[in-house]
Structure formats: C-alpha cells, structure tokens
C-alpha cells in the first residue's frame, strides 16, 4: 500500500494550530457535500479565524501538504478514494454578515442564502437571485454563481483574501468563473453593493424564484445543482433530454427526470457512480448533438480518465 501523505504527526500538528475538536481525521466527505457521496479526507479542518487560517496555511505550504478549500460542498464531487490532503472549511468569524447602508460585507463562510435573507430583512434589493443557491459566499464568488438573470458579478464590489482585497475589475468574473480558479487564493469575504428597495417586493420576488425552483428542480434528492455548464446558445438539460438520457442511471446516480441538467443521488450512489454517469452523459450528448458538455461540478481527488 502506498504511504500516506497525511500522517498522524501532521494531524497532531494541525490540532495544535486549529484546536483538537476542529481537526477531523479520515472524515467522510459525504457528510460535507450536497451530493452526499465521496471518500474520506485525510484531514478536515474547521478554520474559525484569520490567525488560524494564517497558521494552518503557512504550515501546509511549508510542509508541501496538498490542501483544498471547501465551501458548503454544494458544487463538489470528491473521489471515492478520498483525498490524501487537508480540506479546510472556514467557519466562526468567517460567517459574519454586516450591513452599512446599502452595502453588505459577508464572510466567506456565510451562507449566500442567509446573506440574501439579511438583505431582504433590511429592504435591500439585488441578491434575490441568490436566495435558492445553497452555497457559501466564498463558493458563490469563486463560481460567480448566478440564477434567473442575476449573478454575483452584478452586485460584488470587492473580495477579501489573506493577501489583501481584490477589486471587482480584477476578479475576472465570467460565466461560472473567477480569478480564483487561476490564482488558488482563499476568499475570506466579499462586499456586495445593493439598492434600497421595498421589503415586500423583495420577498415576493424571492418567493416567486423559490416556487420556480420547487417546480422545476429535483430538490427532494441530493445533487450539486446543474451538473454541466450551459453550452453557448443552448441548455445542457435540453441536450441531455434530446439524447434520450432522462432517467438514465449508473447505480443510484441518475439523470433527473424532472430536470435532465441535474444528476441526482437516489439514495446509495457512490462518487464513482456519479462520475461514470457524468462521463457517459457527456459522451452520449456529444454523439447525439456534436456538443461537448463541460461539468460545472468541481472534482477533487483521483478519478479514472473515462
């Protein structure tokens, strides 16, 4: 058996830096992803403040230990073989949300749904589109998350990292992408500039979007939302349906019949099932339409090239 990178000594050192109870060894990532699948992270560390983030980042970098920053795991597929490295998840002070006039400053670990709710409570409009996106602020900025005609790029003014703030014009926000996909920096928070609005109208809009989601999306099953990016001038779900793949499955991983753009976990799917299904759907859609679908879901760990 290959030697493990993350040894007991490393776990001990991480516990010194982050606190005994905030470092979990061999933690199943099925508990931390909305797909509810995935192997074990050799170390899973909750990072509750800037000092801990600095200490842990310096340690893993200096020891060349692989690490990955997880948000809410709502766009994440972790290999069945797990991840022999350190998965960091921000918590504690990174969950704070502050309001100053029409500006909201949210920590990267704050839920984007809660941030949108706080905006509504304060009569601020602009984040309604995010009210059904089950990610963190960090994950939403990283992905430039969007829905129903709105996206993070419409409201963000800057993002924070341990190396300093990055202004909107340097965030390189485009469809489901940001500069963080290139620079690998940790997002610690973001500022959203909203507009004063009518609380009742904001809530009405949020309710309307919620009903649309409930009607169109298989929210009763674990998933990572849309599995594939929207191809230019088309829709992934439509192409998948036209390729005859509605309900197509590998094990308990299944193309939702309610919304073909969603791969869902019908109960006991494994990460391997999900991955194989994603590859089969990609190949069959390519065969049928000539269009290559690109996964939107972020994959972590080793996956056999299929």
Ligand X SMILES: Cc1cc2nc3c(=O)[nH]c(=O)nc-3n(C[C@H](O)[C@H](O)[C@H](O)COP(=O)(O)OP(=O)(O)OC[C@H]3O[C@@H](n4cnc5c(N)ncnc54)[C@H](O)[C@@H]3O)c2cc1C
Residues in contact with ligand X by the rule CB under 6 A: 34, 68-76, 90, 108, 133-136, 138-140, 142-143, 145-147, 180, 186-187, 219, 223-225, 298
Report the distance separating Cα 125 and Cα 116, nearest Å. Answer: 9
Which residues make Cβ contacts (< 8 Å) with residue 176, sequence separation at least 6?
143, 144, 145, 146, 229, 296
Q: Which is nearer to ligand X, 38 or 197 (CB)?
A: 38
Report the distance separating Cα 31 and Cα 46, nearest Å. Answer: 14
The answer to whether the beta carbons of residues 287 and 268 sit under 8 Å apart is no
Q: Which of 128, 151, 158, 296 is catalytic?
A: 296
Report the distance separating Cα 88 and Cα 68, nearest Å. Answer: 6
Q: Which of 176, 178, 230, 256 is catalytic?
A: 176
Q: Which is nearer to ligand X, 69 or 239 (CB)?
A: 69
Report the distance separating Cα 182 and Cα 171, nearest Å. Answer: 11
Which residues make Cβ contacts (< 8 Å) with residue 293, sequence separation at least 6?
228, 229, 231, 236, 239, 240, 281, 282, 285, 286
**Residue 176 known to be catalytic:** yes
Nearest distance from C-beta of residue 132 to ligand X, angstroms = 6
Q: Which of 111, 136, 178, 226 is catalytic?
A: 226
**Residue 111 known to be catalytic:** no
Q: Which is nearer to ligand X, 154 or 283 (CB)?
A: 154
Nearest distance from C-beta of residue 138 to ligand X, angstroms = 2
Report the distance separating Cα 241 and Cα 284, nearest Å. Answer: 11
**Residue 296 known to be catalytic:** yes
Nearest distance from C-beta of residue 233 to ligand X, angstroms = 19
Q: Which is nearer to ligand X, 55 or 289 (CB)?
A: 55
Nearest distance from C-beta of residue 225 to ligand X, angstroms = 2
What are the phi and psi torsion angles at 167 (to 5°)? Answer: -70, 155
The residues assigned a catalytic role are 176, 226, 296
């Amino acid at each position: 058996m290959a030697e493990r990178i993350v040894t007991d000594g490393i776990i001990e050192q991480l516990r010194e830096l982050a606190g005994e109870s905030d470092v979990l060894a061999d933690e199943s990532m099925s508990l931390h992803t909305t797909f509810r699948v995935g192997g074990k992270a050799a170390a899973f560390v909750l990072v509750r403040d800037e000092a801990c983030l600095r200490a842990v980042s310096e340690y893993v970098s200096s020891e060349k230990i692989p690490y990955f920053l997880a948000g809410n795991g709502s766009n994440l597929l972790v290999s069945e073989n797990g991840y022999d490295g350190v998965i960091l998840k921000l918590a504690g002070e990174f969950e704070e949300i502050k309001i100053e006039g029409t500006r909201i400053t949210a920590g990267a670990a704050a839920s984007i749904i809660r941030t949108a709710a706080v905006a509504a409570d304060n009569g601020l409009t602009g984040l309604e589109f995010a009210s059904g996106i089950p990610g963190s602020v960090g994950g939403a900025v990283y992905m430039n998350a969007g829905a129903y005609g709105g996206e993070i790029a419409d409201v963000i003014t800057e993002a924070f990292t341990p190396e300093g703030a990055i202004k909107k014009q340097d965030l390189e926000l485009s469809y489901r992408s940001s500069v963080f996909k290139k620079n690998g920096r940790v997002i610690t928070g973001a500022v959203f500039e909203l507009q004063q609005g009518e609380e009742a109208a904001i809530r009405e809009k949020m309710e309307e979007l919620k009903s649309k989601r409930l009607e169109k999306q298989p929210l009763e099953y674990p998933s990572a939302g849309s599995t594939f990016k929207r191809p230019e001038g088309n829709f992934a779900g439509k192409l998948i349906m036209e390729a005859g793949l509605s309900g197509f499955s590998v094990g308990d991983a299944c193309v939702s019949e309610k919304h073909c753009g969603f791969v869902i976990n019908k109960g006991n799917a494994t990460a391997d099932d999900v991955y194989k299904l994603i590859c089969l759907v990609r190949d069959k859609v390519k065969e049928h339409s000539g269009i290559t679908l690109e996964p939107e879901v972020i994959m972590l760990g080793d996956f056999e090239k299929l």
